A and B are shown apart, each in its own frame.
Chain A
Amino acid sequence: MSDSILILHCAEGAKKALARMTEEGHRLPPQFKTFELPCTGSVNEVLLMENLQNGANGVVVLGCRKENCKHLDGNLKAERKVARVKRLLSEAGAEGKFVEMVFTAPDEGKRLHDILLGFAQQQQTEGKSK
């Protein structure tokens, strides 16, 4: 788990987007780990912080497009929590990019790949947690 980037994705659109990305042949570097949740709305601050504490370099919460959440607004709830964790981290003086909310549609394999790689890139340039 250490030095990894954890992708928390929902079981609906985001899962399909990841599968599409692999199908299209876009590979992610091995430091990316994925974990499936029923909905990104089930992410909370504790879960995000625990993962960072346990040694994950970054956490990407991957949800459906904003208006397409199966559970109405689970992805928007997750967005708010991610924003809150970001604020807490910056208030605590932790510089860098640790958590990010990404909205994706099931057919956006290439775009998702670019975003995730961009996240990893920023991680490397802006320093790591711990």
Chain B
Amino acid sequence: MSDSIVAVLCDQQCSSRGPLQAANLTKRLAKSSTVGKLIILDKACQDPEKKLKNVAGQKILFGGCPYLEESGFYSLAAEKLGLGPGEMLVTDVKSSILDLYDSPEAIEEKLVGRLESLGRLLADSTAVKDQPVKLKRNVLIFGSGYSGLKAALELSGEKLSVDVVETEDPPLAPGCLTEGLGSPGLIEELTERVRAGEHVAVFPHRQMGPIRNVEKGFTVSFGGGEPREYGTVIFAPERREAPAEEIGAWNLSQLYKRIQEHQPIKGRIVFVLDRRSEMPPEVIQDILTAARVIKERSHAEVWILLKQIRVALPGLQELYDLTREMGVIFVKYQNLRLHNEFGDFDIAGEDPQTGASFRISNPDRVIIPGAGGLSASALKAAETLGLRLLGGQYTQPYSLWRLANESNHPGVLVCGSARGNMDGDGVAADAASMVQALKARMNREGITPVEHIASVDADKCAYCLTCVRVCPYHAMGKNVEERVAQPITTACQGCGICAAECPAEAITLRNLSQDSVLAAMQAL
């Protein structure tokens, strides 16, 4: 049998953790049809270079203790013998860690069974082998705000063709994009550079057709024209505050708009901060700047009620001192109560340090920052892209902060303020790290599909499209002419959910079919 496996086993004399009794094993494995040649390495983890000289074969199954991996034996073996990822399988006593505590006979029996089942899997895997898929070197960006444009400009220097979609119509018109007050002029500068540049095209959102996963990335058509192919999509939507619940209260966006439009803000202005959650220092900076601007322009009486202030940003302490000198009143509060009775509006609370209570009667304007979230158009775009949303806030349940820029949909990267409040430098760093992730995806060698990729048996498929519905990655496409489901290999992540849900049992995972799983379980 030319496809026979050469098994290399460590006899683990060095370790007391599960001795393998190599001599007995040799006898039993000699009967196994899948294993052609058996080599026993004595203390393989010691001086592996010398030991590997004795080993040669097309497909090799290594077996040993956890120390083999720790000592880099497997990677060294792959390098020395020129073995690719599909040509080397590793079974060791730790792949079922509980084996370590079995009796030597039990370990031996299991290992024989596992060798046979792995031999079958290996025979399967040699049948299907993928060439890497080269993705189109085009990038589509949703949103022409600061993060979107920053990413577009960084990428246009990387010889990628970059298109941007913007909901504001016409896009890139002066004043159509709002920005925080902390560092004005940032977006203006970027917009100028995009207008002057040649590599970035901006399309209005209304012209955009549906976005589809295809083998080489995504396709989108604009204005009913030919579909354009993209290798990856960057999602950089606007973050918009929910309106404040209390009647007559403004949220920060409403306040900033009025300041930017030079509308008069007079009388007694009360900011109520930290009411729902702690304020990030970036937002505090914007608020202090707004308070300073109000004080400069009018004789307003400005109160800032807050629970605590963190001066974690450079320059924030100076801004805080400056606003205090200008007469802004800072009050720490607890047990805050807002009364709105018969047209009289009162704010009452207590100072946690002195215990004294305070009351502000009939303020002219109350400003309560609302909870941040994605704007309606961003929600729509996220839906189109197949991103899951939780509470309208983040594009991935709980985890977007931790997983840097990767979304739950392969090829869709998330960037900018949709991931939380960030200042200008934060967004720039975010865009830079995303460019790194994008380069890894769009390297010139292409991307190789994952090992356990789904495949559909066309004869069994009933075209019920359950798989299309359950796939978390939108990696199952439809072949409308032949009425059969068709996996998109570059998007498939091999989780096996479709195979488990398919009522016709038409989907199998490559190298991990239901039969081989059951056989391997039997071998345990």
On whether the two chains bind one another, the answer is yes
Binding site for B on A (CB under 8 A): 1, 4, 6, 18-19, 22, 27-28, 30, 32-39, 41-44, 46-47, 50-51, 54, 67-68, 70-74, 77, 81
Q: Which residues in window 487-502 of B have CB below 8 A to A?
A: 493-497, 499-501
Q: Which residues in window 463-512 of B have CB below 8 A to A?
A: 470, 472-473, 493-497, 499-501, 509, 512
Q: Which residues of A contact B501 (CB under 8 A)?
A: 44, 77
Q: Is A28 touching B470 in the complex (CB atoms < 8 A)?
A: no
Q: Which residues of B contact A50 (CB under 8 A)?
A: 518
Q: Is B521 touching A22 in the complex (CB atoms < 8 A)?
A: no
Q: Which residues of A contact B499 (CB under 8 A)?
A: 42
Q: Is A33 touching B524 in the complex (CB atoms < 8 A)?
A: yes
Query: At the interface, yes or no: B59 with Cβ under 8 Å from chain A?
Result: no
Measured CB to CB, the closest approach of chain B to A92, in angstroms, equals: 21
Q: Which residues of B contact A68 (CB under 8 A)?
A: 398-399
Q: Which residues of A contact B512 (CB under 8 A)?
A: 38
Rounded to whole angstroms, the CA-CA distance of A77 and B488 in the bound complex is: 22
Residue of B nearest to A18 (CB): B97
Q: Is B101 touching A41 in the complex (CB atoms < 8 A)?
A: no
Using known A-B contacts A38-B452, A44-B500, A77-B501, determine if residue A71 contacts B493 with beta carbons closer than 8 Å: yes
Residue of B nearest to A35 (CB): B521
Instruction: Bits for B87-110, please: 1 = Cβ < 8 Å to A, else 0.
Output: 000000001111011110010000
Query: At the interface, yes or no: B34 with Cβ under 8 Å from chain A?
Result: no
Rounded to whole angstroms, the CA-CA distance of A6 and B518 in the bound complex is: 12
Rounded to whole angstroms, the CA-CA distance of A19 and B470 in the bound complex is: 30
Q: Which residues of B contact A73 (CB under 8 A)?
A: 472
Q: Choose among B102, B106, B514, B520 the residue that contacts A35 (Cβ–Cβ < 8 A).
A: B520
Can you list 18 pairs linking A and B with CB atoms under 8 Å apart?
A: A1-B524, A4-B524, A6-B524, A22-B100, A30-B102, A30-B103, A34-B96, A38-B496, A38-B512, A41-B496, A42-B496, A43-B500, A44-B501, A67-B398, A71-B472, A71-B495, A73-B472, A74-B472
Query: At the interface, yes or no: B426 with Cβ under 8 Å from chain A?
Result: no
Q: Is B95 touching A28 in the complex (CB atoms < 8 A)?
A: no
Q: Once A and B bind, how many residue pairs between them come within 8 Å at the CB atom?
A: 94
Q: Is B408 touching A72 in the complex (CB atoms < 8 A)?
A: yes
Q: Choose among A19, A34, A41 the residue that contacts B495 (Cβ–Cβ < 8 A).
A: A41
Binding site for A on B (CB under 8 A): 95-98, 100-103, 106, 388, 397-399, 408, 452, 470, 472-473, 493-497, 499-501, 509, 512, 514, 517-518, 520-522, 524
Q: Which residues of A contact B493 (CB under 8 A)?
A: 71
Rounded to whole angstroms, the CA-CA distance of A33 and B106 in the bound complex is: 12
Measured CB to CB, the closest approach of chain A to B456, in angstroms, equals: 15
Q: Which residues of B contact A39 (CB under 8 A)?
A: 495-497
Q: Is A47 touching B514 in the complex (CB atoms < 8 A)?
A: yes
Q: Which residues of A contact B520 (CB under 8 A)?
A: 35
Q: Is B408 touching A81 in the complex (CB atoms < 8 A)?
A: no
Residue of A nearest to B408 (CB): A72
Rounded to whole angstroms, the CA-CA distance of A83 and B322 in the bound complex is: 62
Q: Choose among A6, A44, A72 the residue that contacts B521 (Cβ–Cβ < 8 A).
A: A6
Residue in B106, B452, B495, B509 whose Cβ sees the most chain A Cβ within 10 Å: B495
Measured CB to CB, the closest approach of chain A to B124, in angstroms, equals: 15
Measured CB to CB, the closest approach of chain B to A96, in angstroms, equals: 21
Rounded to whole angstroms, the CA-CA distance of A22 and B100 in the bound complex is: 10
Q: A28-B101, A32-B98 are in contact. List 4 more A-B contacts (CB 8 A).
A: A39-B495, A42-B500, A71-B497, A77-B500
Q: Is A28 touching B524 in the complex (CB atoms < 8 A)?
A: no
Rounded to whole angstroms, the CA-CA distance of A92 and B19 in the bound complex is: 44
Q: Which residues of B contact A6 (CB under 8 A)?
A: 521, 524
Q: Is B521 touching A1 in the complex (CB atoms < 8 A)?
A: yes
Measured CB to CB, the closest approach of chain B to A18, in angstroms, equals: 6
Q: Choose among B98, B473, B522 the residue that contacts A34 (Cβ–Cβ < 8 A).
A: B98
Rounded to whole angstroms, the CA-CA distance of A70 and B495 in the bound complex is: 9
The 3 closest A-B pairs by CB, nearest first: A42-B496, A41-B497, A71-B495
Using known A-B contacts A1-B522, A71-B472, A81-B500, determine if residue A46 contacts B514 with beta carbons closer than 8 Å: yes
Rounded to whole angstroms, the CA-CA distance of A73 and B514 in the bound complex is: 21
Measured CB to CB, the closest approach of chain A to B115, in angstroms, equals: 16
Q: Is A28 touching B495 in the complex (CB atoms < 8 A)?
A: no
Q: Which residues of A contact B388 (CB under 8 A)?
A: 72
Q: Is A47 touching B518 in the complex (CB atoms < 8 A)?
A: yes
Q: Which residues of A contact B522 (CB under 8 A)?
A: 1, 54
Using known A-B contacts A1-B522, A4-B524, A30-B102, determine if residue A38 contacts B495 with beta carbons closer than 8 Å: yes
Q: Is A30 touching B106 in the complex (CB atoms < 8 A)?
A: yes
Rounded to whole angstroms, the CA-CA distance of A22 and B236 in the bound complex is: 43
Using known A-B contacts A30-B101, A72-B472, A73-B472, determine if residue A41 contacts B500 with beta carbons closer than 8 Å: yes
Q: Which residues of A contact B495 (CB under 8 A)?
A: 38-39, 41-42, 70-71, 74
Rounded to whole angstroms, the CA-CA distance of A42 and B496 in the bound complex is: 5
Measured CB to CB, the closest approach of chain A to B389, in angstroms, equals: 12
